[in-house]
């Protein structure tokens, strides 16, 4: 890859019925309606390269009222019914399903997701942590003991790839194995971990017959994986297995510019990127970002460097006919839908007020 690639009030009730108090809550909704159609947003979406799919990490945020939803809804309702409205947003052509990281999802759950979005929508899904975490962790997140199921190939197929593929069908985008931070002794033996990962990836069913756009992707949270001396070996395994690198834009990892050399070693191929956490908050600043940015209704901290390089990289890769999947967390800049709009503006040259 080249370096430059990259209405009226209701009638009163009958006298026989006592009217509800003025402060009574609105009748409980059973559906979520999308935000009003925005011609400028439609123009931004139409100007995007066809291979580019932008989206967010999950879709359960009441603060997106006016941006994605027509009004504020409870997060529990958004979790159950919000995806259909999310999929009607002009820019949202993918989403990262993160809940599967904490508990495996079933084929029926995946199929329900797929039934709520348009035909050209593609999902980015995280593998369950009982396969991708080297440690069994307590409720506080601390490692308690080694995980005997770490990188278990059969379990990865049974609890992740097979149900996702059967349920989502051709709407599979990227199936992401996000390896949690590993203990020091494994980081000192990365070649051995890589060979176990190789066996796992080779053992998975082929995605292409069912999901032509689908790809397996590796995401990590330890910068040691990007050691220049180790990178060629990592790239060779990813190429052999038909997998790709998931650009992890998180304060625990090197910046985007330092991850692109690995993507170049894998060229030609798709781009999978999860823009997770603004580096202003540091490697362990997730909770700080959550506290400062909630309810995620506006941009707080613009990350100009990441925006500019993402736009350049997306344009180059999509311009060469390769698929691009970029999902954005609210913790990246404060409001994921607005960050997605900023990328779309950069790619299209259009500016929405």
What b/e string do you get for 291-318 counting C-beta neighbours within 10 Å, with b at 16 or more?
A: eebeebbebeeebeebbebbbbbbbbbb
Closest residue by Cα to residue 278 from 226, 223, 335, 344: 335
On the question of pLDDT at 331 being above 80, the answer is yes
pTM of the model: 0.90
What's the pLDDT tens digit per position in 101-118? 999 999 999 999 999 999
Q: What are the structural domains of the chain?
A: 44-348 (3.20.20.410)
Mean pLDDT (the chain) is 91
Helix axis angle, 190-202 relative to 231-241, nearest 10°? 10
What mean pLDDT is predicted for residues 34-38?
Answer: 94
pLDDT band of residue 351 (cuts 50, 70, 90) is low
Helices (H), the chain: 39-47, 75-86, 107-115, 129-132, 153-156, 162-168, 184-187, 190-202, 231-241, 256-265, 286-293, 304-319, 330-333, 336-348
pLDDT band of residue 142 (cuts 50, 70, 90) is confident
pLDDT of residue 10: 40
Both tokens assigned to 304: 């100009």
What mean pLDDT is predicted for residues 249-267?
Answer: 97
- The rounded Cα 335 to chain-centroid distance in angstroms is 14
Both tokens assigned to 196: 């176990």
């Amino acid at each position: 890859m080249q370096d430059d690639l990259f209405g009226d009030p209701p009638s009163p009730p009958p006298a026989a019925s006592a009217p509800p108090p003025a402060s009574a809550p609105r009748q409980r909704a059973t559906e979520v309606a999308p935000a009003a159609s925005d011609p400028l947003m439609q123009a931004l979406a139409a100007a995007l390269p066809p291979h580019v799919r932008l989206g967010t990490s999950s879709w359960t945020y009441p603060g997106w009222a006016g941006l994605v939803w027509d009004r504020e809804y409870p997060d529990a309702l958004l979790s159950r019914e919000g995806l259909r409205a999310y999929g009607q947003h002009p820019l949202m052509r993918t989403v990262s399903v993160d809940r599967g990281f904490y508990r495996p999802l079933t084929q029926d759950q995946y199929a329900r997701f797929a039934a709520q979005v348009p035909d050209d929508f593609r999902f980015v899904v995280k593998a369950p942590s009982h396969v991708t975490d080297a440690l069994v962790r307590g409720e506080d997140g601390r490692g308690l003991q080694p995980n005997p199921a770490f990188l278990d190939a059969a379990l990865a197929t049974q609890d992740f790839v097979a149900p996702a593929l059967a349920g989502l069908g051709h709407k599979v985008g990227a199936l992401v194995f996000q390896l949690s931070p590993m203990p020091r002794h494994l980081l000192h033996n990365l070649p051995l971990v890589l060979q176990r990962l190789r066996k796992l990836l080779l053992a998975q069913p082929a995605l292409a017959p069912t999901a032509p756009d689908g790809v397996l992707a590796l995401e990590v949270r330890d910068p040691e994986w990007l050691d220049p001396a180790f990178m060629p070996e990592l790239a060779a395994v990813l190429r052999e297995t038909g997998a790709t690198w998931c650009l992890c834009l998180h304060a625990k990892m090197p910046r985007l510019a330092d991850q692109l050399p690995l993507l170049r070693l894998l060229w030609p191929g798709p781009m999978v990127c999860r823009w997770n956490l603004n580096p202003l908050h540091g490697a362990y600043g997730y909770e700080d970002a959550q506290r400062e940015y909630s309810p995620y209704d506006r941009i707080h901290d613009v990350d100009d460097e990441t925006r500019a390089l993402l736009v350049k990289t997306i344009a180059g890769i999509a311009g060469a006919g390769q698929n691009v999947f970029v999902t954005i967390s609210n913790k990246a800049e404060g409001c994921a839908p607005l960050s997605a709009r900023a990328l779309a503006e950069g790619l299209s040259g259009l500016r929405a007020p």
